[in-house]
């Protein structure tokens, strides 16, 4: 992967329905209000607050839930990714 | 439970009407403005403010009141949960 | 009382017109802009600002004035209460 | 007076036109944009900022100018008062 | 002058067109977007930020430019003044 | 020049098209979204943040780019100037 | 390049479609929500927060992704550039 997110941003890849089922998350049909499951592909260095770097709470490989309306979609080498801020991640799925 | 909320978020499970009655809370029929009772299922590590982690004030198993319009609903293994920020919790019911 | 408010929230019970008269507060008929008198029933631990807990300024038993449009109403054991933030309390009536 | 304002709030009593004239303030007929003169009746303990109490700049008995649209009106023992935040006081009239 | 502004407020008196000309400022006819020239009549003690008083940057007698839509007008002893915050002063005219 | 800007404000003089060309900046005809080039005429002492004066980053004589919709225009001795905050300056042209 | 951005701003030059392909980024036809690739041409000294300069995270020559609606376009010596704040850069493409 050749995208290095800035600040507290992460790059994630949306998990398809099949993978979603494996991890035990069943998304409802009325998908509007449902969060989306994804895998973390790249992690920024963290935001700087009052001159101090705040360490990131997610790492590459984490499965996460995020609002599907957060972030910006980008296509790299034919694959679709989303760049979003860590504060838009709701939870890590373990 | 396999969802680990980030920051100051918690995962809660809505208590049904029967349990609600047991704890002494009677929700009115005009439910619109009434807070909802729920049980805390998972608790995030707490927000980071000025580089310091702020400890969470609720713990797993707490019965809480929250605005039913706060948070994001998610279905895990066929069960419905809500992920919301601790600041949207009004009170702990003891 | 079995409700423990979080942060800088308090639980209050609205005082009826008769009690109101006793304390010397006469609410006008055009009640829209008039604050409401209430008694403090439970007090949260206080907000945390910059990692420090800010002590609450009201205590259980205080008679207070608050905007009747602030807070969230909740019914516990058949009694109606309001959960509101301390910053929405205008004054203590002594 | 039995009202103790919270935080940086004060209780004031509007001065009638006659008193206003004595202090040299003549309010114009088009009163919409004109500030109102009042006397400070009770003073809160001051706001808490970063854990430190900020001392109040007005004291009981001060004649002040304030925007007549600021604050909340309340009737105590048949007298009308206004509870407002100190930041809504424009100036002290000496 | 018997008005003592609070915080970072100042009391100013608008300079008429004749005085304006003397100081070299010529206001255009289309006055809408043009700042107004005035003289500082009274200066508040300064705002308090993080418990520290911030010294004021203008003093009595300064000629200033300000947006004519800032502040609140008040009539004292038949004279019109404006009370405004120092942050609404654009520049000192020397 | 007899205007001394307050805080982090500067006084600038718009450069005409001829000067603009000399410095290598060619403004497009569709001027709506294009920044304007100007020369810094006077510089304020800098904003005060947390009790500390923040030094200004531009100095008298600097050629700058700014949004032509920022700031307030003023005419002094028949010349038009603009008073704007340093944060509205996009870049220095060297 | 003769533009020196202020604060945490950078000057960037949009990469054309051909270059974009080389770096492996394929922008979709529905370009509305897609970020734009660009090269960093000049970097400001960094924002000042609480009196401390925050170091910039991008450097001259970096290929970046940014929202094509962020920043201000400017033409210098016939070339088009964009001046934008570092916080509007989504990621560095390596």
**DSSP for residue C69:** T
**List of residues 6+ apart from C49 with CB closer than 8 A:** D50, D51
Residue F64 has pLDDT above 60, yes or no: yes
At F69 the pLDDT is 83
Segments in chain B below pLDDT 70: 1, 17-34
At A31 the pLDDT is 42
**Every domain of chain F and the residues it spans:** 9-93
Residue C12 has pLDDT above 70, yes or no: yes
% of chain F exceeding 90 in pLDDT: 48
Residues F2, E24 contacting (CB under 8 angstroms): yes
Closest CA to C82 of C38, C23, C34, C46: C38
D63 chain-E contacts, CB cut-off 8 A = none
Residue D77 has pLDDT above 80, yes or no: no
At D1 the pLDDT is 58
B94 chain-C contacts, CB cut-off 8 A = 2-4
Q: Class assignment of domain E9-93? A: mainly beta
Would the CB atoms of A24 and B2 count as touching at under 8 Å? Answer: yes
Cα separation, G70 vs E38, in Å, equals: 39
The pair of structure tokens assigned to B90 is 């009004």
Residue D26 has pLDDT above 80, yes or no: no
Measured torsion, CA atoms of residues G21, G25, G31, G35, in degrees rounded to the nearest 10: -130
The pair of structure tokens assigned to G85 is 């704040």
A77 chain-G contacts, CB cut-off 8 A = 24-26
Cα dihedral B8, A73, A79, G68 sign? negative
Cα dihedral A65, A67, A72, A77 sign? positive
Helix extents (H) in C1-94: 17-22
Residue G32: exposure state from Cβ atoms within 10 A (0-12, 13-18, ≥19)? exposed
At A30 the pLDDT is 46
Residue G14: pLDDT band with limits 50, 70, 90: very high
Cα separation, A1 vs C36, in Å, equals: 60
Residues C41, B53 contacting (CB under 8 angstroms): no
Residue D64 has pLDDT above 80, yes or no: yes
Query: Over the stretch C35-84, which tens digit does the pLDDT of each residue have?
Result: 889 999 999 999 888 778 888 999 999 999 998 788 998 887 788 999 99
**Percentage helix, strand, coil for chain B under 3-state DSSP, each rounded to 5:** 15, 50, 40
Which of D27, D34, D91 is opposite residue E6, by nearest beta carbon? D91
Residue C31 has pLDDT above 80, yes or no: no
Q: What is the mean pLDDT of chain D?
A: 82
Cα separation, E39 vs E23, in Å, equals: 12
Query: Which of A53-67, C2-16, E48-62, F30-44 is the least confident region?
Result: F30-44
Residue A17: pLDDT band with limits 50, 70, 90: low
Residue D18: pLDDT band with limits 50, 70, 90: very low
D48 chain-C contacts, CB cut-off 8 A = 54
E86 chain-D contacts, CB cut-off 8 A = none
Residue G33: pLDDT band with limits 50, 70, 90: low
Residue F24 has pLDDT above 90, yes or no: no
At B52 the pLDDT is 81
At G8 the pLDDT is 94
Q: What is the DSSP string of C40-56?
A: EEEE----EETTEEPPP
Which residue has tokens 């569709």?
Answer: F30
Would the CB atoms of D90 and E6 count as touching at under 8 Å? Answer: yes
At G74 the pLDDT is 87
Which of F23, F26, F93 is opposite residue G75, by nearest beta carbon? F26
A77 Cα to chain B: minimum distance (Å): 31
Would the CB atoms of D76 and C25 count as touching at under 8 Å? Answer: yes
* CA distance readout (Å), G77 to B38, D52, E52, F21, G19: 64, 55, 49, 9, 22
The pair of structure tokens assigned to F13 is 């003089």
A50 chain-B contacts, CB cut-off 8 A = 50-51
G11 Cα to chain A: minimum distance (Å): 17
Residue F73: exposure state from Cβ atoms within 10 A (0-12, 13-18, ≥19)? middle
What are the E-state strand segments in A1-94?
A: 3-5, 9-14, 35-43, 48-49, 52-53, 63-67, 72-76, 79-85, 89-93
Closest CA to A19 of A7, A41, A36, A42: A36
At G17 the pLDDT is 53
Cα separation, E89 vs F49, in Å, equals: 18
Residue G18: pLDDT band with limits 50, 70, 90: very low
Residue G61 has pLDDT above 80, yes or no: yes
Cα separation, F34 vs F15, in Å, equals: 14
Which of C26, C58, C86 is opposite residue D75, by nearest beta carbon? C26
Residue D21: pLDDT band with limits 50, 70, 90: very low
**List of residues 6+ apart from B56 with CB closer than 8 A:** B8, B10, B43, B44, B45, B46, B86
Residue C17: pLDDT band with limits 50, 70, 90: low
Cα separation, A41 vs D36, in Å, equals: 61
What are the E-state strand segments in G44-78?
A: 48-49, 52-53, 63-67, 72-76
The pair of structure tokens assigned to F86 is 């340093």
- ipTM of the complex, rounded to two decimals: 0.75
Which residue has tokens 């003093």?
Answer: E59
At E1 the pLDDT is 58
Would the CB atoms of D90 and E72 count as touching at under 8 Å? Answer: yes
At E21 the pLDDT is 47
Which residue has tokens 């060619």?
Answer: F26
Neighbours of chain B (3+ CB pairs under 8 A): A, C
Residues F5, F32 contacting (CB under 8 angstroms): no
Which residue has tokens 């600002």?
Answer: C49
Residues F76, E65 contacting (CB under 8 angstroms): no
Which residue has tokens 């982690």?
Answer: B53
Query: Over the stretch A82-93, which tens digit does the pLDDT of each residue have?
Result: 999 999 999 999
Q: What is the mean pLDDT of chain E?
A: 82
Neighbours of chain E (3+ CB pairs under 8 A): D, F
Count of other CB atoms within 10 angstroms of residue B33: 12
Q: Which residue has the higher pLDDT, G12 or G48?
A: G12
Residue F68: pLDDT band with limits 50, 70, 90: confident
G21 Cα to chain A: minimum distance (Å): 9
**List of residues 6+ apart from G81 with CB closer than 8 A:** G3, G11, G12, G13, G41, G73, G74, G75
Count of D-E CB contacts under 8 Å? 64
Average pLDDT for residues A61-71, to the nearest whole number?
A: 90
The pair of structure tokens assigned to B46 is 């707490």
Residue F18: pLDDT band with limits 50, 70, 90: very low
Residue G31 has pLDDT above 60, yes or no: no
Cα dihedral E19, E22, E28, E32 sign? negative
Residue D19 has pLDDT above 50, yes or no: no
Q: What is the DSSP string of F52-86?
A: EEPPPS--TT-EEEEETTSSEEEEETTEEEEEEEG
Residue F31 has pLDDT above 50, yes or no: no
């Amino acid at each position: 992967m050749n995208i290095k997110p800035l600040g507290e941003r992460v790059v994630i890849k949306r998990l398809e329905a099949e993978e979603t089922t494996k991890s035990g998350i069943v998304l409802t049909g009325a998908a509007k209000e449902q969060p989306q499951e994804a895998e973390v592909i790249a992690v920024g260095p963290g935001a700087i607050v009052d001159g101090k770097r705040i360490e990131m709470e997610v790492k590459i490989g984490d499965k996460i839930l995020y609002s599907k309306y957060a972030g910006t979609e980008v296509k790299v080498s034919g694959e679709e990714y989303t760049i979003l801020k860590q504060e838009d991640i709701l939870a890590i799925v373990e």
